[in-house]
Amino acid sequence: MQVSEHLDPESISRLQGLELRAKAIVDGFLSGMHRSLQRGQSVEFTEHREYAPGDDLRYVDWKVFAKTDKVYLKQFESETNLVCHLLLDISESMSYQGDLSPLSKLEYGQCLAAAMAYVVLHQRDSVSLTTFDNAVRDMVRESGNPAHLRKLTDCMQNAQSQQPSDLGGVFHELSKRLVHRGIVVVVSDCLGDLDSLLSGLKHLRHQRHEVIVLHLLDPREVDFRFSRSTLFRGLEQHPTVLAEPRTVRKAYLALLAEFLERLQAGCRSLQVDYQFVRTDEPFDQVLRRVLVSQKTQRGPR
Amino acid sequence: MNIDPSFILAVWNFGNLTMLGWLAAAALPWIIHRWMRRPQHTTHWAAVDLLQAAIQNSSRRNQIQQLTLLAIRTLVLILLVVAAADPFSSNTIFGSALAERTHRILIVDQSTSMNCSQDDGTRLDRAKTLAQKLVDSGNPGDTFSVIGFSHTAQNVLGRPNRDKSLVLAAIRGLSQSHTVANVSAAIQGANAAIDSSDKTVAQYEIILFTDLGRNSWTLDPSTKAQIDALAQRAKLTLFKVGDQQRDNIAIVDLTVEPTIILQDQDVEIVAQVRNFEKRSYDALTLELFVDGQFRESKRVDLSANTAADVRFITRFVSEGSHNVQVAVTNANDCQALDDYRWLTTKVLRQLKIACVEGTPHAANDLARALAPGQPSPDNSSIGIVPQVIPASRLPQLDLTNYAAVFFCDVADLSSNETAHTTRYIEQGGNLVVFLGENTSPVQWNELVRDDGTPMLPVQIGSLVENEEVHFDPLDYRHPIVAPFRGRPASGLMHVAIWKYFRLATREDYPAAEIALAIDNGDPAIVVGPCVLGRVAVVALPCSLAARTAVGTPWSSFAVNPSFLPVVRDLVDELVGTSQQLKGNILVGDPLVCRWNSISQPTELRMRMPNGNLRQLPLPGSEDRGQIRFAESFTSGIYRLTANGNVIETIAVNLDPTESDLTTVNSVTLPTSLRMPSTKVAQFQQSDSLQRYAKCLLAAVFLLLIAESTVAWLLGRR
């Protein structure tokens, strides 16, 4: 059975409990890797181990090789110096779930955030969680303890909001509150004032955080394929709209493309890692894209 | 001005519930549009800002497109309803306003073939029904003429008429004729109707209803030219009624042999029956009736498209006229009229022949030839009774007592004798002139009738005397010499001729026929018609009395064995044929009845085949002894009565060409003759109305294309 079959949203949606989902995602993800993408940022040597194909030659202990004619790699004492701040949008718009997706955007985002937390904790780094809509609703401080995952998942599972989002305002606030510089992972549908959002991101970047934006959209929001006349009940206090989808689809897709283009361009200019995620996309693909992108941007450690 | 809405509804075709219902159907697109606009699906939505902006961006264009589509669909329905309501029909206000005033000339074929039965009556019935429909659908201002045609054309309405009830009555009154359709007569009738029309008429339409029978519609170039010329004056339309091929059995000929019928002698009645069908007939029964009494029945098998002669042997026990009828009793075909045929026979106790001799004994050999074995036939004799009469008694002689008159070596005729003789011939008498040594060619050549035409069918030339020559039978084509074919022992070819008068046919006598010739090419016997009678000239004498310079007779003809049969054949050909012709004609031909002028009747009546009696005017002094009756339009027996007594019986039969019900192919007709469908509704609208109707249909078609295109474009989005 393919790994991706375990990690697609439909399979994950059958699992009960966010922690279990997170572990399933990460375990499946890691077992599919040929080698670890995680290289600790530690500097203190602990032991040697034999070279295995695929290992980075930069960590070969050439002195040992000269003496023994065997290839050993140097292993370092792991020292946590990375903090990952997970920012999960729990506004009402995140509760949307189209008929093609097994998970709502919020559920998908929770799985994704939990999986990332598990990955971070798995490599003995610290992770924090903040849920928000138009304000910060809950916050779990960073910790590297593996038991910390339970706190995080409990926090995420209890998160629910009927409020609209204010990404820009929340990011400004968090820029002041996140004292430890680290990686900020924003999980959101990014619907709202785009200029405010970019302004908030800019503030985070100003605080020297590395920022990853995981932009979640439901497949229906992406392709807008409705065949019949439809009454759209607006979330986040938006009005109800009656539309003939076939007649407005072209204009909608054009506007969506323009919005995404502006968002991507803004992220690029701020050196924010932007990842567009459809909620019917397998989780391992998303995780792989994120990690590969991080490796590309930050280089090997 | 107040207009009562009910009046508008009444005159326009929308004035009924059905049409109003259809009109309401035009609202369907709006209803469907509104129904489609109601939400059929509900969902929550996060990206409402984007959706609202998209709706705003596309709303104006969408609205225009939707309304355009809606308008097109509504218009299509409205136009279809309008088309169904037929507002341009001539019965509506629109139709009347748009239609131009038209003079419609309805020409209905009444010929025999139109009597053919079909599922819905006869062809004539169908033609009348179509014509009536066309009148019913005419515009209020239109005028009509109704012409029935067969061998002639008759405008039964007289002047063009607007009163539809009168026109319909005239159509209903058209009756079946037993004659042949004459297309030229119909064209002439149409031209006359146009000439008599009101000059304010905008256009003329001539509508022909006919079965396109091959015998009548196989048009010669002149008739086609007449049709083309008529098409310059009016729009020509032809409705073909009748099927392409119908079953028909017909008796196409009825003759009697010999043609001279004598009392108590066996005669042969020959009926020719023809099968015009593509299938065979077994055991067709033909029955012979004489004077209404059944005589004999015979059966015959007929293959497809074949004919057979059926012969009945009978005899007549009394002299006078007898009516013979042969009928097919089990044909069961579509045309019953031609299952019968009539024949009148004139049975004689004596056939008196006057042998007028210019010189003594000149007619002796002839008289012996006519009545061999009877040295001196008298009034008690039965059969041919020749009477030799000197030429000097000719003025006192009542020639009407004789079936034929032979002139034997008569020098010439005085003016009184000429008038006497020509009158006899013109009334149906038969004259045979044997030339001889006393004949004065110049005098004979100058004999003319009252109208200036020559009495003899030949120009008598000079005497020819030379070496022995013989007869040339000209392939035995003529009935007089036809019996000699294959009989060399009859002696005809051994007749020696040393001297004769050179005869030459005349250009002003085109109907003359050379029955027998001399082997150097000169005619020997020439026969020609003369009004009702016939005249024959023989270049030789009928006796041996005349001699050549070397002492030989002019010819050995009078003593040749062939002399007797030739003389008898001459009598048969002239007397028999003329009698049969006089008593048997085709429908439409005039009946000419002749009687003894000495007994002038005080009352003349014609009993028609249907039993009706028609009073006839008495003939004037110029026509004493004969009368012409032109209304022989029905087949059957016509009886002329004078003072209550039947004095002449004539059989009138159908033209057998009408029995062939095959129709012509329309491609052989002039292109100026339109042939629309037999559905009058498709034809009834005038050109202007048809133009509007076509525009309507074109608009619907274009709108349907536009609707499909717009719908497709919207569906792509």
Closest CB to B45: pick one of A94, A235, A250. A235
ipTM for this model: 0.76
Quote the distance between the C-alpha of residue B546 and its chain's center. 51
pLDDT score for A182: 86
Give domain limits for chain B: 5-38+47-94+694-716, 100-244, 249-335, 349-581, 585-652
More confident residue, A219 or B7: A219
Q: Measure the CA–CA gap between B74 and B29, rounded to whole angstroms.
A: 6
Residue A60 forms contact with B (CB below 8 Å): no
- CA B713 to chain A, closest CA, distance in angstroms equals 10
**Cβ(A80)–Cβ(A144) below 8 Å:** yes
Which domains, and CATH codes, for chain A? 3-11+81-298 (3.40.50.410), 44-77 (no CATH)
Nearest residue to B201 via CA among B147, B158, B159: B159
Mean pLDDT of B600-620: 86
- Which residues on B lie below 8 Å from A230 (Cβ)? 39-43
Give the Cα separation of B155 and B407 in Å (integer).
51
Q: How many CB atoms lie within 10 A of CB B319?
A: 16
Which of B265, B269, B371 is closest to B318 using CA atoms?
A: B265
H-state helical runs in chain A: 3-7, 9-13, 18-31, 62-68, 105-122, 148-157, 167-177, 194-206, 219-223, 245-270, 283-298
Distance from C-alpha of B128 to C-alpha of B284, rounded to nearest angstrom: 34
Separation of alpha carbons A108 and A116, rounded Å = 12
pLDDT given for residue B382 in this prediction: 64
To the nearest 10°, report the CA torsion of B701, B702, B703, B706: 130
Q: What is the pLDDT of residue B105?
A: 92
Six-digit token pair at B343?
A: 């024949």
Asked whether the beta carbons of B661 and B248 are under 8 A apart, the reply is yes
Predicted local confidence at residue B587, as pLDDT: 87
The reply to whether CATH 3.40.50 applies to domain B585-652 is: no
Phi and psi, residue B18, nearest 5°:
-60, -45
**Could you give the CA distance from residue A203 to residue A272 in angstroms, rounded to a whole number?**
12
- Residue A242 sits at the chain B interface (C-beta within 8 Å): yes
B532 or A126: whose pLDDT is higher? Answer: A126
Please report which confidence band the pLDDT of residue B581 belongs to, taking 50, 70 and 90 as the band edges. Answer: low
For residue B248, what pLDDT band results from cuts at 50, 70 and 90?
A: confident
Peptide bond into A239 cis (omega under 30): no
Residues A233, B44: C-beta atoms closer than 8 Å: yes
Total number of residues shown for chain B: 717
Average pLDDT, chain B: 83
* Interface check A93 vs B, CB under 8 A: yes
Does this chain's domain B249-335 share its CATH topology with B585-652? yes
**CB-CB neighbors (< 8 A) of B717 in chain A:** 246-247, 249-250
Closest CA to B149 of B683, B588, B586: B588
Residue B553: strand pairing partners: B547
Q: Are B281 and B259 in contact (CB under 8 A)?
A: no
B579 pLDDT higher than 90:
no
Q: Is residue B414 predicted with pLDDT exceeding 80?
A: yes
The domain at B249-335 falls in which architecture? Sandwich (2.60)
Distance from CA of A153 to the nearest CA of B (A): 25
Contact flag B45-A232 (C-beta cutoff 8 Å): yes
pLDDT tens sequence across A148-179: 888 998 998 888 788 888 999 999 999 988 87
What percent of chain A lies above the pLDDT cut of 90?
Answer: 35
Strands B673-674 and B235-240: parallel
Average pLDDT (A226-230) is: 82
- pLDDT band, very low/low/confident/very high, at A79 (cuts 50, 70, 90): very low
Q: Amino acid identity, residue B350?
A: Q
Across the interface, do A230 and B42 touch by the CB < 8 Å criterion? yes
Q: Do B55 and A241 touch (CB under 8 A)?
A: yes
Out of B39, B49, B50, the one facing A242 most closely (by C-beta) is: B39
Written as six digits, the tokens of B383 are 């059969």
Going by pLDDT thresholds of 50, 70 and 90, the confidence category of residue B88 is low
Instruction: Label the pairing between strands B626-629 and B523-530.
Output: unpaired
Task: Count A/B contacts: CB-CB distance under 8 Å.
Answer: 105
Question: Which ranges of B142-220 does DSSP label H, i.e. alpha helix?
Answer: 164-172, 183-195, 214-217
Query: What does CATH list as the number for B349-581?
Result: 3.40.50.880
Confidence category of residue B535, pLDDT binned at 50, 70, 90: very high
Least Cα separation, residue A72 to chain B (angstroms): 55
User: Among residues B336, B339, B340, B341, which one has the least CA distance to residue B116?
Assistant: B336
pLDDT digits (tens, 9 = 90+) for B492-521: 999 999 999 999 988 888 888 999 999 999
CB-based contacts of B211, cutoff 8 Å, min separation 6: B109, B113, B114, B116, B123, B240, B241, B242, B661, B663
- On chain A, the residues whose CB falls within 8 A of the CB of B40 are 228-230
CB A201 within 8 A of CB A272: yes
Q: What is the pLDDT of residues B203-219, one digit of tens each?
A: 888 999 998 888 889 88
- Please, which contacts does B52-55 make with residues 24 or more away whose CB atoms are closer than 8 Å? B52/A239, B52/A241, B53/A251, B53/A255, B54/A248, B54/A249, B54/A251, B54/A252, B54/A254, B54/A255, B55/A241, B55/A243, B55/A248, B55/A251
pLDDT at A105 over 50: yes
The verdict on domain B100-244 having CATH code 3.40.710.10 is no
Cβ contacts of B51 on chain A, cutoff 8 Å: 232, 241, 243, 248, 252
Check residue A119 and give its pLDDT: 84
Chain B 21-60, CB below 8 Å of chain A: which residues? Answer: 36-55, 57-58
What are A34-72's pLDDT values in tens digits?
333 344 444 556 677 778 776 777 778 888 888 888 888
Instruction: Indicate yes or no: CB of B45 within 8 angstroms of CB of A234.
Output: yes
Q: Label each residue of B362-428 as H, E or C.
A: CCHHHHHHHCCCCCCCCCCCCEEEEEEEEHHHHHHCCHHHCCEEEEECCCCCCHHHHHHHHHHHHCC
From B31's Cα to the closest Cα of chain A, the distance in A is 16
